[in-house]
Structure 1
Amino acid sequence: MSKIHYQIYPLEEKKPWVVLIHGLFGSLDNLSGLRRGLVKDYNVLTIDLPDHGKSARTTKFSFDENALLIIELIKRLKLEKISIIGHSLGGKIAMKIALNAPEMVECLVIMDIAPVAYLPRHDAVFSGLQSVPLDKITSRQDADSFLKQSVEEASTRQFLLKSLYQDENGWHWYFNLPLLKRDYAEIIQEIYADTPYYGPTLFIKGELSDYLLPQHREKILALFPNSQSKLIGGTGHWLHAEKPTICLKMINLFFKKTMPS
Structure 2
Amino acid sequence: MKLNFKKTGSGEPLIILHGLFGSADNWFSIAKELEDEFTLYLVDQRNHGDSPKSEEWNYQVMAEDLNAFMESEGLKEANLLGHSMGGKTVMKFALTFPEKIKKLIVADIAPRYYPIHHETILEGLNAVPIDKIKNRKEADDALSEYINNPGIKQFLLKNLARTESGFKWKMNLPVITKKIENVGEEIKSEKPFEKPTLFMGGENSDYIQDKDKEDIERLFPNHHLIYIKKAGHWLHAEQPQAVVETVRTFLKR
TM > 0.5 fold call: yes
Q: State whether residues 207 and 234 of structure 1, in contact with CA within 8 Å, keep that contact through their aligned partners in structure 2.
A: yes
Identity, % of aligned positions: 34
Aligned pairs (5 A) from 1:16-165: 16-165=12-161
Measure, in 1, the Cα distance between the counterparts of 2:153 and 2:181: 22
Ranges in structure 1 where 5+ consecutive residues have no aligned partner: none
The aligned amino acid for 1:9 is: T
Residue 247 of structure 2 is aligned to residue 248 of structure 1: no
CA distance in 2, matches of 1:93, 1:53: 16
Equivalences for 1:193-208 in 2 at 5 Å?
193-208=189-204
Which residue is 1:222 aligned to? 218
SS in 2 for 1:49: coil
Cα distance in 1 between the residues matched to 2:6 and 2:190: 32
Contact 1:99–1:195 (CA<8 Å) still a contact in 2?
A: yes
Distance 1:117 1:34 in 2: 28
TM-score, scaled relative to structure 1: 0.95
Shift of 1:192: 1.3
Identify the residue that residue 8 of structure 1 maps to in structure 2. Answer: 7
Could you list the runs of 4 or more consecutive aligned residues of structure 1 that deviate by over 2 angstroms after TM superposition?
none
Q: Distance in 1 between matches of 2:100 and 2:56?
A: 26
The answer to whether the aligner puts 1:183 opposite 2:182 as a matched pair is no
Runs of 5+ unmatched residues, structure 2: none
Q: Is the 8 A contact 1:60 1:183 kept in 2?
A: no
Deviations 1:62-102 (A, max 9, x none): 21111101111101211111001111100100111111110
| Cα drift, residue 9 of structure 1 | 1.1
Compute the RMSD of aligned alpha carbons: 1.0
